[in-house]
């Protein structure tokens, strides 16, 4: 085609022509890549310009690890024949030589350099010397071996020389099969120094093994010094005299499995520690209840000027400090006890504003924005406040005492797919990002930040148990609280107390059934309640409590029960008791609440809870509160 004619072509026609040329080029490239013969192109300096897939698999190298490398690194005996073709001394040539201890046939042809017509390149075709064709089964097996993510190998134990290593050695160990076969000193280096003696001792005892199969796990070391966990499985072959002569095996990476096993071991240990801590917290709180309760009784019986009065104050102070330590122990061993209520978010946040500002410090500005007609929250008030305060403390550290924290509350729907309404509280930092260790407090750089992160972790746990969530990414932390729309809300109607008995007899105070397996606590509670003119019935177990309810259920107003008891626990007792007596009030007391007792950390609807150890005044106040308030229709439903 003349140049003048080509100049008349439209750009679209030229683009179509170039596209056809590119398609043809790719087509022929794919043909070359799929050929079973190994094909190389080398330049005049004997540097590799191109290599097809067969050659890369044969030498166990990636394409980027071949291009530009010296041909003689792989075919040291091919230099003379290739130079003869490049110099034009011979038109083409064929030679038999060895590649990785295997006989191959090398054919070299001159090839024109398409970029520089004055330069000649050489086309090398490498084929196995053997003319034996593999069966389909053998080809399938070879393909499967090449695809395995492990190193298959064979070793002659008489010389400690590897006789075979699969191509995966380059990726897993960092050594090519050729390097492992040529240098006998490289194979032991696959084991990291801390485990090398143990693995070498195992291989030294092969002659004394009873079986022919064995496996060993160890910390491996690749060619670049990186460590990884490896598992090696091998089969031993012996000579007629029973001496080990040959090993066939495979070596695979097991890092992810080891991580899972270690995580499971940590989780098992953590669970065991949690159960131990739970038991200790429960027993300690029972003992503290007895010591603190009777101590408070003695203090109240002594006049302020009595010589023992100050001693009793010291005892009670020590009891309070020990109670604080028990509370810290419970933070790590139990789910928080939640009492979800319907809350207005705006008043809650306004009441919390001064505490948030104090947590942030003087250098951090607080900005609050609320959407109009915000849903009401269904949340535990104390946990909602603590969640916001914990994040404010974490924000103060992230902002390094300077900047702005903006809080925006808005209506939304849950991201879990349920479509339920929720209130999103977005806390945004003006500068920097939230720390990445907020869910892993032990990774915090110092003790103070660990305490802050622990508070955020506890808040996250409480939110999840209450049906909400906490998500932290970049500069934003989003708290999700279950919401209640105006159409969902309804009034709470109290169930009235039973009408008092009529007649000439003077009315008595309410009757309380106390169920507690710890005799000292039961006696203390009985004493305090009777002093306030309550009639007290008592039982050391759930079964005996049910007997008392069957006999005196009509006149019992309040069931005050421990949660954790041998046999029937307090929750099971309350369910049976309220089924028989629907107007019965329930007050739980406990020093520890096990997760198996209360699903999602919640007590039965309408029940109240008092944490051990409690003061005598708080006990009386809670009893009066429950009796006066009663169970609501909303809670009962």
Residue 559 has a pLDDT of 92
26: confidence class by pLDDT, cuts 50, 70, 90: low
Are the CB atoms for 278 and 259 separated by under 8 Å?
A: no
pTM, rounded to two decimals: 0.39
Distance of alpha carbon 270 from alpha carbon 85, whole angstroms: 72
pLDDT tens per residue, range 436-464: 665 565 565 666 666 676 667 777 777 77
Residues in Cβ contact with 191 at an 8 Å cutoff, skipping those fewer than 6 apart: 199, 200, 218, 219, 220, 221
Residue 23 has a pLDDT of 67
601: confidence class by pLDDT, cuts 50, 70, 90: very low
pLDDT at 410 over 70: yes
State the burial class of residue 345 (Cβ atoms within 10 Å of its Cβ: 0-12, 13-18, 19+): buried
Mean pLDDT of 153-178: 87
Least confident of 128-137, 272-281, 346-355, 585-594: 128-137
Mean pLDDT of 35-51: 85
pLDDT at 248 over 70: yes
Residue 476 has a pLDDT of 82
**Among 382, 354, 384, 386, which residue's Cα sits nearest to residue 368?**
354
Q: Output the 3-class SS for 282-345.
A: HHHHHHHHHHHHHHHHHHHHCCCCCCCHHHHHHHHHHHHHHHHHHHHHHHHHCCCCECCEEECH
Peptide bond into 4 cis (omega under 30): no
State the burial class of residue 562 (Cβ atoms within 10 Å of its Cβ: 0-12, 13-18, 19+): buried
In sign, the C-alpha dihedral spanning 463, 467, 473, 475 is negative
Give the distance between the most distant pair of CA atoms in the chain.
136
Assigned superfamily of 136-253: PAS domain (3.30.450.20)
Distance of alpha carbon 181 from alpha carbon 167, whole angstroms: 12
Domain 35-128 has what CATH class?
alpha beta
The tokens describing 270, both together, are 């953590």
632: confidence class by pLDDT, cuts 50, 70, 90: very low
Mean pLDDT of 140-152: 74
DSSP 8-state class, residue 115: S
pLDDT at 154 over 80: yes
Distance of alpha carbon 336 from alpha carbon 333, whole angstroms: 10
Residue 514 has a pLDDT of 92
Residue 508 has a pLDDT of 45
Q: Is the model more confident about 570 or about 20?
A: 570
pLDDT at 513 over 90: yes
pLDDT tens per residue, range 200-241: 888 888 777 777 888 888 889 888 888 888 989 888 888 888
Residue 560 has a pLDDT of 92
pLDDT at 415 over 70: no
pLDDT tens per residue, range 325-339: 665 565 555 555 555
Mean pLDDT of 240-246: 84
Are the CB atoms for 515 and 538 separated by under 8 Å?
A: yes
Residue 116 has a pLDDT of 64
499: confidence class by pLDDT, cuts 50, 70, 90: very low
pLDDT tens per residue, range 353-378: 777 887 788 888 888 888 878 888 77
Q: Which residue intervals of the chain bear CATH 3.30.450.20?
A: 35-128, 136-253
Q: Which residue intervals of the chain bear CATH 3.40.50.2300?
A: 511-636
Q: Which residue has the tokens 């209840």?
A: 289
Task: Considering the domain delimited by 259-333, tell me its CATH architecture.
Answer: Orthogonal Bundle (1.10)
pLDDT at 44 over 50: yes
Residues in Cβ contact with 162 at an 8 Å cutoff, skipping those fewer than 6 apart: 153, 154, 155, 156, 180, 181, 184, 187
Domain 511-636 part of CATH 3.30.460.10: no
Residue 263 has a pLDDT of 65
To the nearest whole number, what is the mean pLDDT of the chain? Answer: 76
Least confident of 14-23, 362-371, 507-516: 14-23
Residue 325 has a pLDDT of 61
Residue 274 has a pLDDT of 67
Kindly state the percentage of the chain with pLDDT values over 70: 74
Distance of alpha carbon 86 from alpha carbon 5, whole angstroms: 38
**Helices (H), ranges, 412-502:** 447-465
- Range of 382-391, 468-477, 486-495, 555-564 with top mean pLDDT: 555-564
pLDDT tens per residue, range 60-101: 788 888 888 888 888 888 888 888 888 877 777 888 887 767
Domain 341-484 has what CATH class?
alpha beta
Least confident of 18-27, 178-187, 495-504: 495-504
pLDDT tens per residue, range 534-553: 999 999 998 999 999 998 88
Q: Which residue intervals of the chain bear CATH 3.30.565.10?
A: 341-484
Distance of alpha carbon 528 from alpha carbon 306, whole angstroms: 23
- Helix H or strand E encompassing 39: strand 38-42
């Amino acid at each position: 085609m003349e140049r003048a004619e080509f100049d008349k072509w439209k750009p679209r026609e030229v683009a179509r022509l170039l596209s056809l040329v590119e398609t043809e080029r790719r087509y022929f490239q794919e043909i070359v890549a799929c050929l079973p013969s190994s094909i190389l192109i080398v330049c005049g300096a004997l540097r590799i310009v191109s290599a097809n897939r067969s050659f890369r698999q044969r030498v166990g190298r990636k394409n980027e690890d071949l291009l530009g490398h010296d041909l003689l690194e792989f075919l040291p005996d091919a230099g003379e024949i290739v130079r003869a073709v490049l110099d034009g001394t011979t038109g083409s040539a064929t030679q038999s030589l060895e590649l990785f201890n295997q006989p191959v046939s090398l054919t070299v042809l001159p090839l024109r350099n398409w970029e520089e017509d004055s330069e000649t390149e050489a086309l090398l075709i490498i084929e196995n010397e053997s003319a034996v064709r593999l069966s389909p089964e053998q080809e399938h097996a070879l393909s499967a071996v090449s695809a395995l993510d492990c190193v298959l190998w064979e070793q002659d134990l008489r010389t400690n020389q590897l006789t075979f290593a699969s191509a995966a050695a380059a990726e897993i160990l960092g050594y090519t099969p050729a390097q492992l076969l040529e240098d006998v000193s490289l194979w032991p280096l696959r084991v990291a120094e801390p485990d090398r003696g143990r693995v070498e001792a195992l291989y030294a005892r092969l002659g004394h093994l009873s079986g022919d199969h064995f496996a060993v796990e160890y910390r491996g070391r690749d060619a670049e010094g990186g460590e990884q966990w490896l598992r090696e499985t091998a089969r031993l072959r012996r000579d007629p005299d029973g001496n080990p002569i040959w090993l066939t095996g495979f070596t695979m990476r097991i890092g992810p499995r080891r991580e899972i096993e270690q995580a499971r071991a940590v989780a098992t240990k953590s669970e065991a520690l949690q159960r131990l801590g739970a038991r200790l917290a429960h027993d300690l709180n029972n003992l503290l209840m007895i010591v603190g309760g009777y101590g408070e009784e003695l203090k109240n019986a002594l006049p302020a000027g009595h010589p023992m009065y100050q001693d009793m104050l010291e005892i009670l102070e020590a009891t309070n400090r020990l109670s604080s330590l028990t509370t810290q122990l419970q933070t790590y061993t139990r789910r928080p006890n939640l009492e979800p209520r319907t809350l207005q978010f705006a008043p809650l946040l306004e009441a919390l504003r001064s505490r948030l500002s104090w947590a942030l410090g003087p250098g951090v500005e607080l900005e609050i924005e609320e959407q109009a007609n915000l849903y009401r929250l269904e949340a535990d008030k104390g946990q909602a406040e603590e969640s916001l305060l914990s994040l404010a403390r974490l924000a103060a550290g992230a902002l390094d005492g300077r900047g702005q924290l903006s809080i925006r509350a808005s209506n939304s729907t849950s991201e879990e797919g349920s479509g339920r309404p929720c209130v999103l509280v977005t806390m945004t930092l003006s500068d920097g990002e939230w720390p990445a260790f907020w869910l892993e407090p032990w990774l915090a750089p110092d003790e103070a930040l660990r305490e802050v992160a622990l508070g955020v972790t506890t808040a996250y746990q409480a939110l999840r148990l209450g049906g909400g969530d906490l998500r932290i990414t970049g500069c934003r932390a989003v708290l999700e609280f279950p919401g209640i729309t105006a159409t969902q809300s309804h009034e709470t109607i109290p169930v009235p107390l039973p009408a008092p008995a009529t007649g000439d007899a003077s009315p008595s105070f309410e009757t309380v059934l106390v169920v507690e397996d710890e005799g000292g606590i039961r006696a203390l509670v009985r004493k305090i309640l009777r002093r306030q003119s309550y009639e007290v019935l008592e039982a050391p177990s759930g079964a005996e409590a049910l007997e008392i309810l069957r006999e005196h259920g009509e006149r019992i107003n309040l069931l005050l029960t421990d949660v954790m008891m041998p046999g029937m626990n307090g929750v099971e007792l309350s369910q049976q008791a309220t089924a028989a007596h629907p107007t019965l009030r329930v007050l739980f007391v406990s020093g520890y609440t096990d997760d198996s007792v209360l699903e999602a950390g919640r007590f039965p609807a309408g029940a109240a809870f008092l944490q051990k150890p409690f003061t005598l005044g708080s006990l009386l106040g809670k009893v009066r509160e429950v009796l006066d308030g009663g169970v609501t229709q909303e809670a009962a439903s």
